[in-house]
């Protein structure tokens, strides 16, 4: 153990009545929900970048956090790793996620970056072996360094494309070596600031070519995890190409990769795209591309990607309802892509933020399972569409306009509007919370 979390106890389940802040009220890892443990349903992961690498800056001010591992040496990177694993163990999360740039010092060039990454991957390997922690996903940070300011795959300069491809290879190698269950691509700078200097057709083709190379390399090295794209509409670019689930699906279809790549859906990104989280999850489920989630919460007024820890149980319930309807996670999980507010300086804040987030997810999961097991919501939905299960309903979709017109005339089809019963269903949902 490092000193950073000194005095903070191991977090265990004590139940809803406990007065102990440092305990779970709802997350009981081994408790069965729909015949599966909560641990296996939720598959919680901590994100290295927000919790260990982010210094607490905002557009108007710099670093607020003082952490003993801040700095650009291998020794400090190891201290960061030690502290990270202390945190994962205090919280008893089974997984973590990282970008290359979160975990290693920035080198002078690609070769040095990769050497640094490989050394840390070695160190992670030992720590994972000793603790049983697993890697949910790895990824490349292709957005922070200034060389990526005009994009990675979609950059007008082919040398940036090459640097990015090499970096992705090194991060896929790292993920594969650590037994990662997914590899994520978030294209923070894959978009544009102004159309005046942008060739959108070329940039889209470059992104398609890069994704094809990622898929080819996955097969080449025998990585059996899932490749995931993380949609986001904007921020940092004004317009990002992976706008939302529907846009990503269109892109995947265009390049014939819809059977190879799924999505990592983030709550806050859904909100920025003008959707609800459950909309994005439900659509991905219907399209067969639901992979994993980045769990957080956005401020609904600011319009920024505020990456707050989730604490809204009714929202979590509707999200996990869609995940349960999809059959649950396979390689995916619940990654806390969430950061402290910049005034939350203390080590305790970092632990308690995760405790609250894990409890909100667990309470949401339990409510979602109760809704699904009770079956009332699904019965109401089925009843609404029952006409489509009749012979006449089924025949319609393979008919043609002229035959349907004849039928409407002959049978004098004259439909009566029926209530959508929204408020009744909203009342029903509240009964499970
Ligand atoms: C940005 C994000 C990212 C992604 C991560 C994956 C920095 O809004 O959500 O976090 O989750 O970069 O590459
Ligand atoms: Mg994210």
CATH number assigned to the domain comprising residue 124: 3.20.20.150
Catalytic residue among 102, 173, 244, 359: 102
Residue 379 burial by Cβ neighbours in a 10 Å radius (0-12, 13-18, 19+): exposed
Q: Centre a 10 Å sphere on the Cβ of residue 82 and count the other Cβ atoms it contains.
A: 16
Ligand nearest to the CA of 186: 1
Beta bridge partners of 58: 61
Ligand 1 pocket mutation pick from 183, 229, 294 by most atoms within 8 angstroms of CB: 294
CA 193 to ligand 2 centroid distance, Å:
21
Pocket of ligand 1 (CB under 6 A): 49, 99, 139, 184, 186, 188, 230, 232, 266, 294, 305, 337
Report pLDDT for 390.
96
Where is the domain boundary, 350, 374, 398?
A: 374
Sign of CA dihedral 146, 148, 151, 155: positive
pLDDT tens digit at each of 433 positions of the chain: 899 999 999 999 999 999 999 999 999 999 999 999 999 999 999 999 999 999 999 999 999 999 999 999 999 999 999 999 999 999 999 999 999 999 999 999 999 999 999 999 999 999 999 999 999 999 999 999 999 999 999 999 999 999 999 999 999 999 999 999 999 999 999 999 999 999 999 999 999 999 999 999 999 999 999 999 999 999 999 999 999 999 999 999 999 999 999 999 999 999 999 999 999 999 999 999 999 999 999 998 988 999 999 999 999 999 999 999 999 999 999 999 999 999 999 999 999 999 999 999 999 999 999 999 999 999 999 999 999 999 999 999 999 999 999 999 999 999 999 999 999 999 999 999 9
Quote the CA–CA distance of 21 and 34 in Å, as a whole number: 28
Based on the fold, state whether residues 394 and 333 are members of the same structural domain. no
Q: Which two tokens stand for residue 331?
A: 């390689």
User: Hey, whose CA ends up nearest to atom 1 of ligand 1?
Assistant: 188
185 and 89 in a common domain: yes
Q: Which two tokens stand for residue 202?
A: 């070329």
* Residue whose C-alpha is closest to residue 340's, from 63, 139, 91: 63
Domain boundary among 356, 374, 392: 374
- Tell me if 2 is assigned to some domain: no
Catalytic residue among 26, 99, 176, 354: 99
Closest CA to 314 of 368, 276, 265, 379: 368
Q: How far is the CA of 264 from the centre of ligand 1 (A)?
A: 10
Cα three-residue angle 152-113-89, rounded to 5 degrees: 100
Evaluate whether 65 touches 345 at the Cβ level (below 8 Å). Answer: yes
- Give a yes or no: residue 177 inside a domain: yes
Residue 320, phi-psi category: left (phi > 0), alpha (psi -120 to 50), beta (remainder): alpha
- Do 399 and 358 belong to one domain? no
The residue range of the domain holding 247 is 12-374
Helices marked H in 7-109: 38-42, 48, 74-91, 100-103
Annotated binding site for Mg(2+): 230, 266, 269, 294, 305, 307, 337
Residue 263: inside a domain, yes or no?
Answer: yes
- As a whole number of angstroms, the distance between CA 276 and CA 269 comes to 9
99 located within any domain: yes
Number of H helices, E strands in the chain: 16, 14
383 and 370, same structural domain?
no
Q: How many Å apart are CA 275 and CA 293, to the nearest integer? A: 15
Shared domain check, 168 and 56: yes
The pTM of the full predicted model, rounded to 2 decimals, is 0.97
> What is the spatial distance between Cα 226 and Cα 291, in angstroms, rounded to a whole number?
8
Same domain, 41 and 97: yes
The dihedrals phi and psi of 9, each to the nearest 5 degrees, come to -80, 165
Paired with 297 in beta bridges are 308
CA angle (117, 83, 101) in 5-degree steps: 30
Predicted local confidence at residue 331, as pLDDT: 98
- Using DSSP's 3-state secondary structure scheme, residue 182 falls into strand
The CB density around residue 73, as the number of other CB atoms within 10 Å, is 11
What is the count of structural domains for the chain? 2
Residue closest via CA to ligand 1's atom 7 equals 49
């Amino acid at each position: 153990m490092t000193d950073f979390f000194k005095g903070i106890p191991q977090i265990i389940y004590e139940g809803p009545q406990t007065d102990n802040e440092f305990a779970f009220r709802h997350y009981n890892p081994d408790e069965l929900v729909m015949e599966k443990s909560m641990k296996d349903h939720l598959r919680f992961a901590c994100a290295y970048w927000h919790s260990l690498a982010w210094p607490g800056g905002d557009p108007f001010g710099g670093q607020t956090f003082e952490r003993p591992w801040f700095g650009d040496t291998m020794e400090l990177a190891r201290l960061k790793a030690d502290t990270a694993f202390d945190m994962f163990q205090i919280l008893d999360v089974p997984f973590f996620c990282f970008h290359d740039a979160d975990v290693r010092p920035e080198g002078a060039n690609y070769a040095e970056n990769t050497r640094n990454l490989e050394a840390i991957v070695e160190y992670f390997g030992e720590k994972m072996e000793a603790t049983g922690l697993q890697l949910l996903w790895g990824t490349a940070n292709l957005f922070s360094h200034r060389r990526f300011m005009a994009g990675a795959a979609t950059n007008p300069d082919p040398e940036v494309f090459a640097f990015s491809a090499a970096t992705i290879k090194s991060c896929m190698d790292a993920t594969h070596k650590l037994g990662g269950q997914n590899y994520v691509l978030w294209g923070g700078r894959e978009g544009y600031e102004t159309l005046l200097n942008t060739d959108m057709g070329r940039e889209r083709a470059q992104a398609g070519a890069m994704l094809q190379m990622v898929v080819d390399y996955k097969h080449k090295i025998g990585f059996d995890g899932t490749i995931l794209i993380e949609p986001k509409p904007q921020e940092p670019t004004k317009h990002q190409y992976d706008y939302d689930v529907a846009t990503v699906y269109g892109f995947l279809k265009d390049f014939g990769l819809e059977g190879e790549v799924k999505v990592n859906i983030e709550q806050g990104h859904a909100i920025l795209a003008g959707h609800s989280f459950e909309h994005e999850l439900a659509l991905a489920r219907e399209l067969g591309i639901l992979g994993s989630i980045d769990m957080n919460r956005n401020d609904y007024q600011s319009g920024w990607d505020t990456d707050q820890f989730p604490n809204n149980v009714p929202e979590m319930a509707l999200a996990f309802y869609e995940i349960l309807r999809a059959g649950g996670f396979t390689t995916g999980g619940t990654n806390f892509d969430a950061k402290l507010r910049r005034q939350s300086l203390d080590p305790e804040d970092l632990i308690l933020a995760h405790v609250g987030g894990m409890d909100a997810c667990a309470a949401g999961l339990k409510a979602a399972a109760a809704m699904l097991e009770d079956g009332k919501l699904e019965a109401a939905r089925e009843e609404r569409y029952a006409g489509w299960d009749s012979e006449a309903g089924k025949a319609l979709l393979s008919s043609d306009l002229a035959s349907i017109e004849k039928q409407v005339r002959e049978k004098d089809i004259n439909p009566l509007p029926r209530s959508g019963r929204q408020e009744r269903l909203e009342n029903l949902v509240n009964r499970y919370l």
